[in-house]
Structures are given as C-alpha cells and as structure tokens.
Amino acid sequence: METIQIGMLGLGTVGSGVLQMIQHNEDKVVNVTGRQLNVKRVLVNHPERHQDVAENIELTTSVEDVINDDEIQIVLELIGGIHPAKEYIEAALRNHKNVVTANKDLLATYGPELVKLAHDHHCDLMYEASVAGGIPILRTITNSFAADKITEVKGIVNGTTNYILTQMSQQGWSYDQALKAAQQLGFAEADPTNDVTGKDAAYKMVILSQFAFGTQLAVDDFAVTGIDHLNGFDVQQAGKFGYVIKLVGIAQVIDDGVFVEVAPTLVPADHPLATINNEYNAVMVTGEAVGDTLFYGPGAGGLPTANSVLSDIISVTKNLVLKTNGNFFNNYQRQYIPAAPRDVVYPYFLSIMMPDVPGQMLKLTQIMTEIDASFSQITQTEADGLAHVVIITHEMTAQQLADFKARVAKDSSINLGAAYKVLK
Amino acid sequence: METIQIGMLGLGTVGSGVLQMIQHNEDKVVNVTGRQLNVKRVLVNHPERHQDVAENIELTTSVEDVINDDEIQIVLELIGGIHPAKEYIEAALRNHKNVVTANKDLLATYGPELVKLAHDHHCDLMYEASVAGGIPILRTITNSFAADKITEVKGIVNGTTNYILTQMSQQGWSYDQALKAAQQLGFAEADPTNDVTGKDAAYKMVILSQFAFGTQLAVDDFAVTGIDHLNGFDVQQAGKFGYVIKLVGIAQVIDDGVFVEVAPTLVPADHPLATINNEYNAVMVTGEAVGDTLFYGPGAGGLPTANSVLSDIISVTKNLVLKTNGNFFNNYQRQYIPAAPRDVVYPYFLSIMMPDVPGQMLKLTQIMTEIDASFSQITQTEADGLAHVVIITHEMTAQQLADFKARVAKDSSINLGAAYKVLK
C-alpha cells in the first residue's frame, strides 16, 4: 500500500496529538483513503526533549530537511505566529508541498496571499483547525452551505474568555478571580492578552467571514472589545434580566454590507448560545434557506485540534489519490462593504453610574429622547452614594448609540460603564 | 459556461425548494463550481398542477423521459417511499446518472445494495437530506471525523415527536392534545404513525450508525420505542427531577459491540440536547479525540431539506468537474456486533402504579435488591387510591432492567408504566 509521507514543523500539544491519532486510527485512515500516513520528519528546536518519538521519526532542527525532502507530500505547520511560519509555508508551497496549518493569526493576516500562492503551485492549503479547534466549521460552511446565502455567522469562538465568563456568571466571581482560576487550570495562558482583548476571536471572525461571505477583511476593519474591562456587577445584573454575557463574534449581512464585531454581548438564557459554557465553542450559521444551525464542540485542546488537522490531512490525501490538489479550500469570493451604522440595529444593555440626586434620571431620559431611543427595562440600585442604573433599551441603531455616547460624554455627572449589544 | 442538466423525480415541498434555491443562488453556485445548474425535466403525476414552473422546465409523467435523457447528469429522487423509488434509482444508476436523494426509508433498508450499484457504475449516490433535514451531519461525519474513532452518535432526529414532547413539557399538555396541535400546525401528518412510533428516527439511526461506525444494520436489529404511549404525568415528574423527556436515538460503541436504540429518554436540563425544542433536530457526535460535538438545525421543512439536497448536487458537480464520481459517500466499513445487555449501563426512570397499601414498597425494594440495583431518587404521589411511585435508579445494566421487568410482571399488584433510560 502506498504511504503518504508527512513533514511536521513544530511538536507541541497539537503535534503530539496528531502523532497519536495517526498511530491509533491507522486502520480507519487506511479504510477511508486507501493510503497509509507516516510522519517522516519533524522540525523541533530541542531534539533531546523528544526522545520518546525519536525511534520512528527523524527529528531535525533545520526546516530545509523537511521542506526539501522529495518524499514528503504534506507539510504540517504547527509552530504558530506570523514569522517564520509564513516563510516556511511559502517555501513549502514553492516546493510543491501541500500544507495543513492551524495558524489563525497567519491566515487572518496573510490568508489571500497564501491561498493564491498555493493555487499557483497546484497545492492544497487547508486550515480547518485555525477556527474553533474541534468544530469542523470551515469545511461545513464550504461544503454544506454552498448553495445557500449565509446571512449571519456568529458565535463563541474563544474558549479562554468563555471559561472566564462562565465562572463570573455561575460563581459570581470577579474578572480577576475567574482569570486566575482559568490560568491555574490551563485554560488561560500566563499572558492572556490575545484572548481577553478579543484579538484571538477577531482573527477567527476574519476567517469565518471569508468562508461565509467570501469577503476579505482585516482585523482592523471592525470593532473589537474584549472582556478585560467587564464588571462582575454587570454580569449579575444581566443575569437578573434573564441574559448571560458572552464574548460573541458576529458577522452579519445587512443589505449590501457586512457588519462585523467582537464584543461582550447579552444572550437570552433560552438562546442556544447561552448554554455553551466553559472552554466550549459554538458557531451559529444562519442561511436564507436553511435557517438557524449551530455547531458546538471543544474550542481548543491538543486532541480536538489534532482531529481538525487530521481531517485536513485526509482531505489532502484524498486529493492526492484523485490528483485534484490545488483547488481552493473555499472558492467563494465577494466584495466587502462595511454596513452603515444607521443599518445596524440591536437593543443595548447600558450600565451607568451617576450621583444619586434629583434630576439625574431626568437628564438621562432627556438624552434618550433627543436621540429618539427608549428603555425596555430599568433597574436602579445604590452603592457608595452613587446610583447604578442598568438599562435594556429597545432596538436602536449603532448611529443612535454613538450619539448617546457622545452626549453622555459631555455630562461629567453621567458615567457610562458599559454598552453591550443584546441578542434576540 | 458549461451547464449541468438535472432531472427531478417528484415536485413536492422539497422539489419546489430545490428549484427556488437553484434560481436564487445561481451566482454563488457558479462562483463555487464554475458551472451552471439547470433542472431540465421533472417527473410529476399531474403536470396541470405545476403550470407555474412549466415555462422553463419540461414536465413529464414518464420516468423514462428523465432517466433516458442523455443530457441529464444528475437525477434527484424526491418521491419518497421504497417503491418505485428504488427501481427508478436503480435504472438511473444503470444509465450512469449520478443520484441525489432524500429518501431515508429506502437508504436505511436498501442502502448497501444501492451504494454498491452506484459504485459499480462509477456514479455518485448522495443522501445528506435523508437524515436531520437541514443539518449537514453525514458529510460532517465523513469528512471531519475520518481520523477519529467515533464512540457515540446520539440525538433528536425526528422533528414531529420533538415538537409534541416540547409542548407536553412546556404547556403541560397530554400526548393527544400535543399531537393535535402539531397536526394543526403542519408539524405532524394526518397519519403520524411513522413518526410517533419511532420508526422514522430508527431509519435515521441506521444511516447515522453506518456513517459513524461503518456498520450495516437494519431497523429490526434494535429496540425502537415511540412516544405514542408516553404519559403526561411522567413528563411532569421527570421535570420535577430536573430532566426533560426527549425521543433520543443512540448508537454507542461498547467494547467491540454497538448498542443502538430509539426510545423516550430523560435528558438532564443542562445537557445540550435538553435545549433542542419544537421541530428542531440535533445530533451529538462523540469522538475519542475530539470529545463531544453537537450539530443543531431544522430537522425538516422544504428549504432546509432542499439545502442539503443542493449541497449534494454541488458535491456531485465538483466531482463531475474533477471527473471523480463513483467514490463512496462514506467508505468506512466495519462489522456490527450488538452490545451485550450486561454491558449497556444507564440509570433508569421507572414509573410504577400500585395499590396504596402497606407492604407494597417493601415488595418493590425487595425486587430491586434481588437484582442488585438501587434507587437514587423516589417520589410517591397518590391518585384514585393508587400509589404512583416514580424512581430514578442508580446505574444498572440492560440485563438488570430485563430481570426487573420480568419479576415485576409476575406480581399483578405492581404495574410498571414506563422504564426510560437517563442520560448523564
């Protein structure tokens, strides 16, 4: 039986998972593809630390050993980050190697360029594992919504922040307490910046938007708000109104535009996204024909991510058998126009601190009236001589919200602590 | 641009949805496949009833007009039922037409035979729409779990019964009330037998098991219990214990065997399947590497099902472009061995009526002790001079449950109304 030789760049958690799965599930892979998979060479920084696998695999500290090996047909890039991953992938593609990667930063930043390079060299470039770890969302969008018009893709695409938010909501913890717990359990890194500022989720929304709408946008094209300034009080208040706060990435077609945002968002307790807890991820895809669908699974972790990598390897292998490599992973393309702020309509959760004196609520309602917006639910509580007013508004446009913020900013007695979208 | 000509057998709700989607999403289909799709001929019983589409499409009452048309490369079978759908599909495959169908009865009954015929004639046979309408579950299992060992696939795969159960649970309705409401809203047919007896769900579990485990089993190989004898009282009691009753199809690898069943099942309120309500479907797939994943969407309906049909058509079209038709939709095969009853372990919900006299509970606990099983939760209420005892047991084997039933059957004073599995 023919063997497909694989070269690997990096041997961390995901890489070890890939090795383990290839060994454990050899029978099934042979059954499905008619080929055997073998990891021949692995690029590592410290070969002496990987002696457990060195018996069957050639460890090397030189990337050339991997990408210049004529036997190797598939290169897995699992080192992460932009550089030198980008240069390695480019070199591999130029050497006519098919490439599988889990690198969301790279794909969200240089995706179109790398996709074109792969296509020009008749090679596959697949990156299912770059979004939502174990959830096969990219392939599903490509294969199963190909004839439908996707109108919205939204979801919880960062496990670290979802773990923190779940603990804040269920245990009543502060952000700092929940972050510390997440770090102790390995759900958050020592430097959690990329996760808690929403940047990681933003990368994933860039890739999801590309698959859902055929658009090519950059993380700088849309607003990204993390959870690092989220207040435990607001989480509890949202709960009393019947909502949970989740870090939701949303990409929504509005007329001819697309509205994209990553932000803390109020999700009704009976909404499918409200039950996605801890490190799990979920992506909802809404199609004009199919309606609402949801895909749920582990958002990270060595083996779940390795499974997505393996599903890409098997797709590449099938293409090798069929001699059909070099087709686009996703070949749907469309121009991106940002939706106008007057067309983006949501209810909002507003958390406001102001002096507990007569006339303050009047000022607030006057501002709301001036921008032609109205309240749906209000709670006022008192703390330290200040009134803490929490409001759920009726639907208002992003333009109205901007006007509201501008007017409130002019009044030093009204302190707007948070303004979050509310999902229906 | 090359046009792919399609022939259609049947023009009901799904067929109309397919026509509508092909027209509405022509741009995207062209973008993805580089081909135009055109429905050329449609087999109907009463052409005069379809004059709205007759301008662009040739309507015919003769199946030969469709399957002998040299221009037609894809035949959609949408008439349903076993005969004559089977003969039509066979004739189409023998004429080297690729076939797409939504026919679960046929695929669950004659799947292996038809799959072989398609392969022998180098034609595609795809049937994504046969399971869970708008959820792209079959293609996901095939493509995205190819290297993982799936250990369990379970879910809510019948929208009619899920609608009825949701109403019974949320409105406190009886089975008859909920069924009538479902019929009025079009969620249940005038003759709901296939749905409410679990047969429809069983067909889908046959197909899901085939994709998940590579097994070829028949609906007669496993136990199927519907919801038509479900008691409103038990639904309410389950609710008080913190569970909802769902019609769950389960297929689970246990050692070298597979346990398959369709039955009313208690699902904990915080389990992802508990929030799947009304006509929606959801399938949970558990992989050794990936862990728990869930796929949620509309279980039926013209357009959602049409979307699954279209995703098959686009797969076939891509294969036509790549000249790779005739590969198996799912090519994972394995032998099926039913799991031994002593290896199938669940807690059970037992609903028992008995005379409200001293000594009855003693008899019940004696039986439980004899089979070495024990209670986790018990509630006893009284109605019409009878004691209604509802129990959640600790884990017990299917063998213990059978022993329990046999012993209870010998005692005419103990009437076991229901015994349902409890999910963890």
Q: Do A125 and A312 meet the contact criterion of CB atoms below 8 Å apart?
A: no
Mean pLDDT calculated for residue range A211-239: 94
Reported as a pLDDT band with limits 50, 70 and 90, residue A335 is: confident
Specify the residue for token string 């039922």.
Answer: B81
Q: Which pLDDT score, from 0 to 100, does residue A416 have?
A: 97
pLDDT tens digits for range A295-308: 999 988 889 999 99
Closest CA to A324 of A113, A124, A33: A124
Taking the C-alpha atoms of residue B188 and residue A145, their distance in angstroms, rounded to an integer, is 27
Tell me the chain A residues in contact with residue B253 when contact means C-beta distances shorter than 8 Å.
none
Q: Is residue A332 part of a domain?
A: no
Which chain B residue's Cα is nearest to A294?
B296
Helical pair A26-33 and A13-24, crossing angle rounded to 10 deg: 70
Residue B390 Cα, gap to closest chain A Cα (Å): 28
CB distance A144–B139 less than 8 Å? yes
Top-ranked range on mean pLDDT: pick from A264-268, A336-340, B380-384: A264-268
Residue B105 and residue B152 in one domain? no
Residue B122 and residue B237 in one domain? no
Q: Which pLDDT score, from 0 to 100, does residue A144 have?
A: 83
**Which carries the bigger pLDDT value, residue B332 or residue A107?**
A107
State the 10-residue block means of pLDDT for chain B, 424 residues long.
Answer: 95 93 86 88 94 88 97 97 97 98 94 94 95 89 87 96 96 96 91 96 95 90 96 95 97 93 94 90 94 92 91 90 80 80 96 93 95 95 91 97 96 95 95
Residue A44 and residue A143 in one domain? no
Residue A79 and residue A160 in one domain? no
Q: Is residue B186 part of a domain?
A: yes
Q: Which pLDDT score, from 0 to 100, does residue B47 have?
A: 93
Residue B149 and residue B290 in one domain? yes
Q: Is residue A339 part of a domain?
A: no
Tell me the chain B residues in contact with residue A294 when contact means C-beta distances shorter than 8 Å.
294-297
CB distance B29–A290 less than 8 Å? no
Active site residues of A: 204
B2-28 burial code (b ≥16 CB/10 A, e <16):
eebbbbbbbbeebbbbbbebbeebeeb
pLDDT of residue A338 exceeding 80? yes
Of the candidates B17, B290, B313, the beta carbon closest to that of A307 is on B290
Residue B127 Cα, gap to closest chain A Cα (Å): 13
CATH of the domain at B254: 3.30.360.10
Residue B116 and residue B179 in one domain? no
Residues 6+ apart with CB under 8 A from A49: none
pLDDT of residue A27 exceeding 90? no
Tell me the chain B residues in contact with residue A148 when contact means C-beta distances shorter than 8 Å.
21, 25, 307, 310
Residue A127 and residue A145 in one domain? no
pLDDT averaged over every residue in chain A: 93
Residue B160 and residue B290 in one domain? yes
pLDDT tens digits for range A111-150: 999 999 999 999 999 999 999 888 889 989 988 888 889 9
Q: Which residues of B are annotated as part of the binding site?
A: 9-16, 104, 189
Residue B279 and residue B212 in one domain? yes
Best to test chain A binding among B16, B32, B124, B256 (most A CBs inside 10 Å):
B32
- β partners of residue A7: A41, A75
Domain that holds residue A113: 3-133+302-322
Residue A36 Cα, gap to closest chain B Cα (Å): 12
Q: Is residue B327 part of a domain?
A: no
CB distance B28–A332 less than 8 Å? yes
Q: 3-state SS string over chain B? A: CCEEEEEEECCCHHHHHHHHHHHHCHHHHHHHHCCEEEEEEEECCCHHHHCCCCCCCEEECCHHHHHCCCCEEEEEECCCCCCCHHHHHHHHHHCCCEEEECCHHHHHHHHHHHHHHHHHCCCCEECHHHCCCCCCHHHHHHHHCCCCCEEEEEEECCHHHHHHHHHHHHHCCCHHHHHHHHHHCCCCCCCCHHHHCCHHHHHHHHHHHHHHHCCCCCHHHCEECCCCCCCHHHHHHHHHCCEEEEEEEEEEEECCEEEEEEEEEEEECCCHHHHCCCCEEEEEEEECCCEEEEEEEECCCHHHHHHHHHHHHHHHHHHHHHCCCCCCCCCCCCCCCECCHHHCEECEEEEEEEECCCCHHHHHHHHHHHCCCCEEEEEEEEECCEEEEEEEECCEEHHHHHHHHHHHHHCCCCEEEEEEEECC
Best to test chain B binding among A143, A145, A271, A310 (most B CBs inside 10 Å):
A143
Which residue type, as a one-letter code, is found at position B207?
I
Active site residues of B: 204
CATH of the domain at A105: 3.40.50.720
Structure token pair of residue B89: 């599909």
Domain end among A298, A332, A355:
A298
Structure token pair of residue A58: 């050639």
Residue B194 and residue B169 in one domain? yes
- In order of B365, B378, B404, B411, B414, the CA distances from B355 in angstroms are 15, 17, 19, 12, 8
pLDDT tens digits for range A366-419: 999 999 999 999 999 998 889 999 999 999 999 999 999 999 999 999 999 999
Q: Which pLDDT score, from 0 to 100, does residue B331 have?
A: 66
What is the total count of domains within chain B? 3
Q: Is residue B172 part of a domain?
A: yes
Residue A211 and residue A114 in one domain? no
Q: Is residue A331 part of a domain?
A: no
Mean pLDDT calculated for residue range A160-186: 95
Residue B416 Cα, gap to closest chain A Cα (Å): 34
CB distance B22–A147 less than 8 Å? yes
pLDDT of residue A162 exceeding 90? yes
Structure token pair of residue B352: 């028992």
Which has the minimum average pLDDT: A37-41, A55-59, B51-55, B401-405? B51-55
Reported as a pLDDT band with limits 50, 70 and 90, residue A331 is: low
Which chain B residue's Cα is nearest to A27?
B147
Q: Is residue B328 part of a domain?
A: no
pLDDT of residue A198 exceeding 90? yes
CATH of the domain at A386: 3.30.70.260
Structure letter (DSSP) for residue A50: G
Residue B316 and residue B243 in one domain? no
Q: Is residue B40 part of a domain?
A: yes
Tell me the chain A residues in contact with residue B16 when contact means C-beta distances shorter than 8 Å.
none
Three-state DSSP at A276 gives: coil
pLDDT of residue A51 exceeding 90? no
Beta strands in A231-305 (DSSP E): 243-254, 257-268, 280-287, 291-298
